[in-house]
Amino acid sequence: MPRMTARTFPSKKSRVATLVVGFVLLAGAGRAQGTMATIPVRGVVVNSATGQPIARALVDAGFDATLTDGEGRFELRLAESYAQITVRRPGFSEKQEDTTHRIRVSAQMPEMQFSLPPAASLTGHVTLSTGDEAAGIHFTAYRRQVVDGHARWMPNGMAETNSEGGFQFNGIEAPALYVVCNMEVNDHFAAPAPGATLFGYPSACFPGGSDFLSAAQMTISPGQQKDLEIVLIRQRLYPVSIAAPNPPPGQGVQIEIYDRAGRPSSSPARWDAKRGMVDLELPNGSYSLELRSWGKQPAFGRLDFRVANAPVTGMSLPLAPVHPIEVEILKEFTSLSGQEMGDRMGLLELGRGASVNLSVLPRDSLIDGPMGTGLNHPEGAPSGVFQMEGIRPGRYLVRIDSWDGYASSITSGSTDLARDPLIVGAGGTAAPIEITLRNDWGQIACDLRGTNANAASGTEMGAVFLYAIPQFPSAAHMPQMTLGNMGEYTWPRIPPGTYRVAAFDKAQEMNLDDGKEMARWNSLGQTVKVNPGGTATVQLDVIKSAGENP
């Protein structure tokens, strides 16, 4: 029989004593932390547009936070060090670059002044030509943005009219260019009776346009309250019937209608599988119809057509099989790559996973943003051979990221994709893409003058935004870097080539498609040549800006 060991339990009195001692120790630790030497940080928060103080703004430094008083003043107590302070107030900008401040805290600090840009707003009032109530109409605000060096129009919010026809977009980003468009409003919701005459309020864009391309562009500044007066005209809708004779059997069909700028239409479209027809009703205008069928046999078709005071009939849109685009990745490495090192350690299966990410940006549309594409390794294919699927016909700007190396070349047949767009034909056909990767990166040693390396007490230390603008065709994303408290910095993993390097105190948007704008950018900073495996050296003054292009 196993020997039993006696266990001794503390008495209730001793357990209580132990708990009391524990609380005393914790309380002592709390007092020690609470009595840590702190320095008063005082200041004021003001409206950047008017200079007026902002009351009840939240000033948050993490370890201490407070609300400003009626005169916009605040006081925090912070340890001597570097501190990041966030300032927020409803009705003002919420962008990080406007709300976040980094300062050096030390004795005898001067008072700080933080400014907040007021948020802009966009309101509108809708009147229908029939005099009916204009409630429940949806609007989208599109903002012009530079995405990866190319100007695009991106949705920046939706709003719906109330019973009085009013709508409002609050807190929109500014300064920026905007266009506002409404969604279609039709008199019918179900399939119309044969021969019925239909009406509705077509989509239009404002100010002053019947569609996106003809609309004017509104410049909205920080704090501006922009108002639109919109009149929607009731128009006749004409029946459109387009045959799609060969959809893959057993697969559904996805229908999409676009205007001539590439903006999707919300007009209801109906697929009649028995007839092999697409039916819908549209007002006068130019459109594109796209049909997709997903499944074991992906298929795609696109048809451009125009409605001009009459029904559209007798048109056919055959669907073509969508074929994947072959992508071959060649490696000309001077040292062992990260993927190869992982493979030798048994962490990766070399050749099965692509070491690159591809993204494509449609060049024939103003509205679509970049689309990421996956690379699949077909079973039985040689190492380094992949397939890119799901790319519909059109012209595309190709961008490449790689964690193993940089793209020294990227071609599709005889097309240099670093310079010209990828052409995808009917059925997704395109010449195979060949990517050559190298890993003899260079680097840029930056001496940033006028930065925060020796910031004085109470100095606000803003971020530094570095840009290396390639002076050669490149399919890589433009090298960019955001730095904090740094006077000297070595910028690694730069593909060899000639660059114009510049540093700013605000983030910048650079439109590579605008030659005049790029000439201004290329007049700033310093030109350097990065050699394979080499280090280029630059000395840069941080360019002060108001956040807008120079």
User: Comparing 66 with 104, which gets the higher pLDDT?
Assistant: 66
pLDDT of residue 98: 86
Asked whether the predicted pLDDT for residue 386 surpasses 90, the reply is yes
H/E stretch holding 231 reads: strand 225-232
pLDDT over 70, % of the chain: 86
pLDDT at 81 over 70: yes
Least confident of 145-154, 168-177, 189-198: 189-198
- Can you tell me the mean pLDDT for 415-426? 93
Q: Which whole number is the average pLDDT over 356-361? A: 89
Residue 334 has pLDDT above 70, yes or no: yes
- What's the pLDDT score for residue 168? 96
Q: Give the closest residue to 459 by CA, choosing from 117, 110, 116.
A: 110
Q: How far is CA 216 from CA 125, 168, 219, in A?
A: 18, 19, 10
Residue (of 314, 239, 244, 241) closest to 282 by Cα position: 239
Q: Top-level CATH class of 120-233?
A: mainly beta
Contacts from 413-422 at CB under 8 Å and sequence distance 24+? 416/473, 417/475, 418/473, 418/474, 418/475, 419/473, 421/363, 421/395, 421/396, 421/397, 422/360, 422/395, 422/396, 422/397, 422/398
Structural tokens at position 318: 């055959």
The CATH T-level fold of domain 325-438 is Immunoglobulin-like (2.60.40)
Determine the pLDDT at residue 190: 61
Angle at 458 between CA 457 and CA 463, to 5 degrees: 105
Tokens 């966009």 identify what position?
122
Give me the mean pLDDT over the 95-113 stretch. Answer: 87
12 vs 270: which has the higher pLDDT: 270
The CATH superfamily holding the domain 442-541 is Carboxypeptidase-like, regulatory domain (2.60.40.1120)
Question: At residue 351, does pLDDT exceed 60?
Answer: no
Cα gap 375→353, rounded to integer Å: 8
pLDDT digits (tens, 9 = 90+) for 283-322: 999 999 999 888 788 888 999 999 999 999 999 999 888 8
Q: How much is the average pLDDT of 331-349?
A: 58
pLDDT at res. 23: 35
The predicted structure's pLDDT at residue 21? 39
Per-residue pLDDT, 468: 96
Lowest mean pLDDT among 28-32, 84-88, 194-198, 454-458: 28-32
- Of 65-69, 147-151, 186-190, 266-270, the range with the highest mean pLDDT is 65-69
- Residue 131 has a pLDDT of 93
pLDDT of residue 445: 96
Give yes or no for residue 30 having a pLDDT over 80: no
Question: Which of 126-135, 214-223, 395-404, 427-436 holds the top average pLDDT?
Answer: 126-135
pLDDT for res 337: 55
Residue 457 has what pLDDT? Answer: 53
Burial 12-30 (b: 16+ CB within 10 A, else e): eeeeeeeeeeeeeeeeeee
Does position 25 have pLDDT exceeding 50, yes or no? no
> What CA dihedral angle connects 437, 440, 444 and 445, to 10 degrees?
150
Domain with CATH 2.60.40.10 in the chain: 120-233, 238-321
Edge-first strand order for the sheet with 81-88 is: 65-67, 58-60, 81-88, 100-105
pLDDT tens-digit readout, 191-235:
677 778 899 999 999 998 778 888 999 999 888 889 999 999 999
Domain spanning 39-116 has what CATH number?
2.60.40.1120
Other beta carbons within 10 angstroms of residue 393's beta carbon come to 19
Q: Report the phi/psi class of residue 542: left, alpha or beta, with left for phi > 0 and alpha for psi in -120 to 50.
A: beta
Q: Give residue-wise pLDDT tens across range 245-264.
A: 888 888 888 999 998 888 88
Phi-psi group of 450: left, alpha or beta (phi > 0 → left; psi -120 to 50 → alpha; rest → beta): left
pLDDT value of residue 456: 53
Torsion of CA 29, 32, 34, 39, to 10 degrees: -150
**In Å, how far are 376, 413, 436 from 381, measured between CA atoms?**
10, 20, 18
More confident residue, 511 or 17: 511
Any idea how long the chain is? 550
Mean pLDDT, the chain, as a whole number?
A: 84
Arch. (CATH architecture) of 238-321: Sandwich (2.60)
Side-chain half-sphere CA neighbours of 179 within 13 A: 23
> Bigger pLDDT: 403 or 2?
403
Q: Residue 6: is its pLDDT beyond 50?
A: no
Note whether 332 and 438 are within 8 A (CB).
yes
Lowest mean pLDDT among 121-130, 266-275, 337-346: 337-346
pLDDT band at 97 (very low <50, low <70, confident <90, very high): confident
Beta bridge partners of 65: 60
- How many C-beta atoms lie closer than 10 Å to residue 39's C-beta? 17
Largest Cα–Cα distance of the chain, in whole Å? Answer: 103
What percentage of residues in the chain have a pLDDT greater than 90? Answer: 51
Distance CA 404, CA 399 (A): 15
On the question of pLDDT at 547 being above 60, the answer is: no
Which ranges in the chain are annotated with CATH 2.60.40.1120? 39-116, 442-541
